[in-house]
Structure 1
Amino acid sequence: MRKEGIGIVLLAAAGLSLAACSGKDGAGEQAGATSAADGAMPASASLPDALDNTDGLQTVAEALKETGIEGVFREKASYTLIAPEDDAFAKLGDPAKQLTEADDHAALAALIKDHMLTGYMTPQDISAAIKASKDGKIEIPTLGGGTLTFTQAGPTVTVTAEDGTQASFDGDPVAGGSSIAIPVNGVLKKL
């Protein structure tokens, strides 16, 4: 009976957090893209379309097109893309340039899948899960078959890939369709 009560409380809390996701602040919205800084619900434009109109995320937007992964975001299923910013790719220099400009897009597709999570999770959802965890971290599997570990120190949420690469949430999330992209300041894979 006690476990049932806890489950109901957790479901109610999840419902409240989803209800809180419905506010929009209008700032940062562009041509169907929705800034999800306050946990905004998905927008009518697909996530790839929203990313096309978002400064600083053009490399990942182009990668979605080049690999054909953009089609996944046009379906009804929800995903969270941990989206490396353009500067994150630029910091990697030639290896990133070779990856994004290659004729064979298999390696780029694998990189994108390593940044994709099943389900729609706002930064607030991830932060709340970290705070609720016993050890101050959560692990979430990627579509690429790996696992990302999320931790938080103060307001900064850090994500760590299995190979030890790290990035921090950086900037306002972008919602589109039934999915969301959370900008990060690093690429989660050694190149």
Structure 2
Amino acid sequence: MRKERLVIGLLACCLAACSAQDSTPDGSDKGTTTTAATTIETLPQALDNTAGLQTVAEALKETGIEGVFREKAAYTLIAPEDDAFARLGDPAKALTEADDHAALAALIKDHMLTGYMTPQDIAAAIKASKDGKVEIPTLGGGTLTFTAAGGTVSVAAEDGTQASFDGNPVTGGSSIAIPVTGVLKKL
């Protein structure tokens, strides 16, 4: 069942990527889309130049994960906004300021997906699914579950933490970051 959802989700993502039709994050057609500006810089460089995503940009540097984005492979980063880290208070501060970055690297990997998926791709996959959700594995070995309601795409981790897509995606190199309102891991 889990593989079926993944296959359906990935198929829908591929179909959405090939479609020239504009749609909103909930999949409804409204004639406009939120598009990411294409740049030649790497994703970590693009994030470093994006207001509100400085914490995740710095985490990519500190953990060494930024090097992955110099390669040709494509990734989708579900990027917690700075406010999401700030709301977590001392546990997030301890995580981002620790000398040992293993826990921070694990957190980042739990927010990374293989392949380039726009918010519209994910919304289309949700719409095409039989149960209104799409499960996608992370590089950290977990699974993120995506759903949509009222024009908003939400994402939940296996531990129950949730966030919503928020703002325009950021691209760099062959990868994309989708800003979200929360950190997808209990700290």
TM-score scaled by length of structure 1: 0.82
Residues 1:188 and 1:10: Cα distance change in structure 2 (over 3 Å): closer
Q: Are the equivalent residues in 1 in contact too, given 2:142–2:158 (CA < 8 A)? A: yes
Q: Are the equivalent residues in 1 in contact too, given 2:135–2:143 (CA < 8 A)? A: yes
Aligned to 1:32: none
Matches within 5 A, 1:25-174: 38-40=34-36, 42-174=38-170
Structure number with bigger Rg: 1
Q: Secondary structure at the match of 1:72?
A: helix
How far apart are 1:38 and its partner, in Å?
2.9
How far apart are 1:178 and its partner, in Å?
0.2
Q: Secondary structure at the match of 1:110?
A: helix
CA distance in 2, matches of 1:152, 1:128: 10
In the TM superposition, what whole-angstrom CA distance separates every residue of 1:160-188 from its partner, at most 9, and x where no partner exists?
00000000001110000000000000000
Query: Which amino acid is 2:41 matched to?
Result: A
Structure 1 residue ranges, 4+ long, deviating more than 6 angstroms after superposition? 9-12
Q: Secondary structure at the match of 1:65?
A: helix
Question: How many residue pairs align between the two structures?
Answer: 167
How far apart are 1:154 and its partner, in Å?
1.6
CA distance in 1, matches of 2:80, 2:21: 26
CA distance in 2, matches of 1:99, 1:57: 16
**Tell me, which stretches of 5 or more residues in structure 2 are unaligned?**
1-10, 23-32
Q: Are the equivalent residues in 2 in contact too, given 1:43–1:178 (CA < 8 A)? A: no
**Tell me, which stretches of 5 or more residues in structure 1 are unaligned?**
1-8, 22-36
Q: Are the equivalent residues in 1 in contact too, given 2:107–2:185 (CA < 8 A)? A: yes
How far apart are 1:20 and its partner, in Å?
6.4
How far apart are 1:43 and its partner, in Å?
2.2
Aligned to 2:28: none
TM-score scaled by length of structure 2: 0.84
In the TM superposition, what whole-angstrom CA distance separates every residue of 1:33-84 from its partner, at most 9, and x where no partner exists?
xxxx633474211000000100000000000000000000111000000000
Aligned to 1:16: 18
